[in-house]
Structure 1
């Protein structure tokens, strides 16, 4: 009985409850609709539209927003490069060239590495921990305090889970094999790899294959099996390593022009927030479905699955936290957010070791044993 009462109470509050109530109150619906403005925004994506899952996060959000507002608030989605190149997305939103972008914060670490902490940083949070920190651990509030200086508001809107560690033309047997390795890898991870002797390159998704093919780069990481198979990396770089220690749980954000966001009616802000949440969970679940099939397909095509050597992981871990110490000294915004993030990470790790890790370790071992 109490669950039903709580459910009714929940449905009577907020944007979804209001929408449900007005759907059955014919007289109220026209009055509400007439009181809200027609709004048309443009969105620039950080991704090409052939990468349907990650690019599609913006489409999922826009479709949900349109449906929830009866078509009065619509966002037109453009792929990377149609309006501005992906690396210019934040600047385009700040300048109000477009009202909103959908991309990864860590693409803008050249401005400040603090951009990355809202999306993912090496040896950080997994997907569930990331959502917990952003939604209820003060993470997105801290991130938006930082983003305010850039004239944008960030709303989580996509997730990939832990990614793969990339495709390599040659086998990686030890840390020595990273020396001089030219690798497409974005954000803070690239700076860590540089400490390990690699030469990081930041390339958009569509440019990775030709660079690998020409030998301009020796290795590349993108997302995971589904997208990687689409991009064809297995054809020229057969060694497929895991895990991506730099992306335990990536969040893609919607970055909204601050003035445009603040001008929205409260109803539209609630609808936008709900649509972004829908895009966030939808992307993660889509990848979880598609990756399980794609990894089998890639292996059947000759991809050689390999775990990164332990000495590589250990060296990367050490270099990562040395780098974070340097950031604390050099970047005030990072120093303001990082201590709270680190405390949340460590306490979350403690809890996940108790239940999640022990459960996962046991059942995965049993499945691997054919039981």
Structure 2
């Protein structure tokens, strides 16, 4: 018997789109344009998966989510909305994971399949990584997991861990320290799956937080390195502060990821060049997508100078460029 899915969406065209898309994947689809009708269908049909628009004309999707989870704690609810600020409220009400409009059809189908498969049946597609078997510090892995929880909820992290074959971390998150955790190859696949599951918009927010929190953890875990650097920076002008700390940080990143980090400069800017980039490897995009290093470098500059400055990615391998390049004002 095919899996039952209840779709709750007040936009008729989008509701019909869901119906065709899911029926083509051999799901049994029940449709509702209102919260009240959704409750009636749920009580009668008891579907396992519910796709829930948060904004409905009568009862809010959050209220319907709360009702369904009280009746059936095992029901899996995917909250859908164009309004990102409602996501945490939906998670608190019982939504398992979150999808922000607009989304790609393949992303939603992939998510539903992951939710209806056991962890044993979830297999990665062949992904070319071949980067390095070096181990990423636990703190960097942990901030990635925490960023998913913060933005998308714990259910989303479980989906991500299963898809990435990192089930060992479900209910057992790595510590905030420099002990070894996943390999760089696994870290690359983790980032690829963040894009696959949450789409570029959702992934960008998650990965940007990863970068910012990653540097904050590095400060705590490397007191000797940053303590000495802090003393040396005290009497330097901002331009020299930036160059000094960037050289030290890029050397540390090379040790962690095993790829070359090149620091260049002209009269106005510093440029960080990555001929190999773990943050966008295997991806294709029309715009830059390496938000983890952007967040990381912004926190580096803020720590060194006490000023918040934007870091811009001006080239990205995912766009077909030869290198990933980041621009920082001197």
> Which range, TM-score by smaller chain?
under 0.3
Structure having greater relative contact order (Cα 8 Å, sep ≥ 6): 1
**TM-score for both structures, normalised by structure 2:** 0.27
**TM-score for both structures, normalised by structure 1:** 0.24
